Amino acid sequence: MITSSPLSNLTATSIALVKQMLMDDNIKLIGVFFYQDGVLNASASLSIPADEYQSVKQWQSIHCDYHLPLHLCITAAEKRGLSDDWQDTSNILPEFTVSGLGEFVSLYNSADQLIQL
Amino acid sequence: MLHLIRQSPYQQDISSELSTLISNDDDVLLIDDGVYFCQSLHFAIIQEKAKNILIVDEHLQARGITFEKADSLLPFAQIAEILVQSEKTLTWQL
Amino acid sequence: MNKSIAIINSKAPLNGAHAKESLDLALILGSFEQAPSLFFIGDGVWQLTEQNIAMTGAKDFLKTMQALSFYDIENIYVCEHSLYQRNLPNNFALDDVTVLNRTALQNQLAKFTSVLKF
């Protein structure tokens, strides 16, 4: 579960850890669930200067290269200005799956371990 | 349990909370701004209670901190494995 | 091994969305028969005191908290030391809250298979 904002200094570490897990044959990562300020990672409106850390590109490549499900709590997301249905458009990146906390429970039930980042 | 400390010792009342939650069976991993504990009086709190203290070497270097206890230092590349090997983790971040 | 989850609340009730979102998660887990145990430490102990949050315009989630047992969330632990630091008595807006000293709290926490901290 990722609860930290993409603007915190933690994001680069969190993403690097997710990648380490994906590349380790002994670890099977079944999904990432974004909650609290973590949902902002899914914003298509984030515009980060080219010389700064590109969290959006990192998540996109994680999803494309490893097909890792990236779930988003839509209630937490809508509170923070993200929506998949605002004036018929979405400002949520397509790599993220719009979900609810029920999906978190289902992931939790299927997993041996839960790590908060 | 492994405590993953990602915040500086001076954010929130973390020193008191650590005394509350770290037991003698627990390990501590200092990562991100958690490495600032290495240059803090609050390091004693962790040292007194935790069984093992691990510190991410690259995160210390990135913040310009030198730490004499080289045996606690770990390369970042090993962290995912350490997280998964510990039976459970408690993450300290704001 | 049966899975069990502990949620640690460490922030004051009006500190961002932490308290509310932690509670939302607890209720969902409860409704899926995975009722978590709740721990209140540090400024988190203020989430359990009698208060008038609605005066700030924020939602009074104490009312929701009072429904915790309806979601089978029955284990609520509070840090004695945090109460002492804040000169708070052992009365809470909820019933059946257990006050634990530091050692007892650590022993209790050790029983869970997963921990989240808000």
Residue C68 sits in which domain range? 5-117
Which residues of chain B neighbour C114 with C-beta distances below 8 Å?
88
Give A85: exposed, middle or buried? Use CB within 10 Å, 0-12, 13-18, 19+.
exposed
Determine, for residues B1 and C110 on separate chains, whether the beta-carbon distance falls below 8 Å: yes
Please give the pLDDT value at position C53: 87
* Average pLDDT across chain C, whole number: 94
pLDDT (average), residues B40-58: 95
**Three-state SS at A97:** strand
pLDDT (average), residues A56-82: 97
Determine, for residues B88 and C115 on separate chains, whether the beta-carbon distance falls below 8 Å: yes
DSSP code for A89? B
pLDDT (average), residues B45-65: 95
pLDDT at C43 over 90: yes
pLDDT band at B38 (very low <50, low <70, confident <90, very high): very high
Helix (H) or strand (E) holding B14: helix B14-21
Determine, for residues B81 and A17 on separate chains, whether the beta-carbon distance falls below 8 Å: no
Percent of chain C with pLDDT over 90: 78
Instruction: Tell me the pLDDT tens digit for each residue of C8-22.
Output: 999 999 988 999 999
**Tokens, residue A61:** 């490549």
Instruction: Tell me the pLDDT tens digit for each residue of C80-105.
Output: 999 999 999 999 999 899 999 999 99
Distance CA A83, CA A43 (A): 9
Annotation marks residue A73 as catalytic: yes
> Among residues A15, A56, A73, A93, which one is catalytic?
A73
Give C14: exposed, middle or buried? Use CB within 10 Å, 0-12, 13-18, 19+.
middle
* CATH assignment of B2-92, among 3.30.379.10, 3.40.50.300, 3.40.1260.10, 2.40.50.140: 3.40.1260.10
pLDDT (average), residues A90-105: 97
For the beta carbon of residue C87, count every other beta carbon within 10 angstroms.
6
**Three-state SS at A8:** coil
DSSP for chain C? ----EEEEE-S-TTSTTHHHHHHHHHHHHHHTT-PPEEEE-GGGGGGGS---GGGGTS--THHHHTTGGGGT---EEEEHHHHHHTT--S--SSSSEEEE-HHHHHHHHTT-SEEEE-
pLDDT at C62 over 90: no
pLDDT at C32 over 80: yes
List all chains that touch chain C, counting a touch as 3 or more CB pairs closer than 8 Å: A, B
pLDDT at C61 over 90: no
**Tokens, residue C70:** 């309806």
- More confident call, B87 vs C113: C113
pLDDT (average), residues A82-99: 93
* Per-domain residue ranges of chain A: 11-110
Determine, for residues C82 and B16 on separate chains, whether the beta-carbon distance falls below 8 Å: yes
Q: Which ranges in chain A belong to alpha helices (H)?
A: 11-23, 55-66, 74-79, 101-110
Please give the pLDDT value at position B71: 78
Distance CA C48, CA C98 (A): 12
Q: For residue B80, give the nearest of A3, A4, A27 by CB distance.
A: A27
Edge-first strand order for the sheet with C5-9 is C97-100, C76-79, C37-40, C5-9, C114-117
> What is the b/e burial string over C20-36, where b = at least 16 CB atoms within 10 angstroms of the residue's CB?
bbbbbbbbbbbbbebbb
Please give the pLDDT value at position C111: 96
Number of domains into which chain C is organized: 1
Helix axes C102-109, B14-21, angle to 10 degrees: 70
Instruction: Tell me the pLDDT tens digit for each residue of C63-84.
Output: 888 889 999 999 999 999 999 9
Q: Which residue of A has its CA nearest to B87?
A: A113
| Fold that domain A11-110 belongs to in CATH | Hypothetical Protein Ychn; Chain: A, (3.40.1260)
pLDDT at C1 over 70: no
Q: Give one word for C41, left, alpha or beta, with left for phi > 0 and alpha for psi -120 to 50.
A: beta
Q: Which residue of A has its CA nearest to C1?
A: A112
Q: C-alpha B65: how far from its chain's center?
A: 14
Please give the pLDDT value at position A9: 87
- CATH number of the domain enclosing C100: 3.40.1260.10
pLDDT at B70 over 80: no
Which residues of chain B neighbour A24 with C-beta distances below 8 Å?
80-81, 84
Terminal Cα-to-Cα distance of chain B (whole angstroms): 20
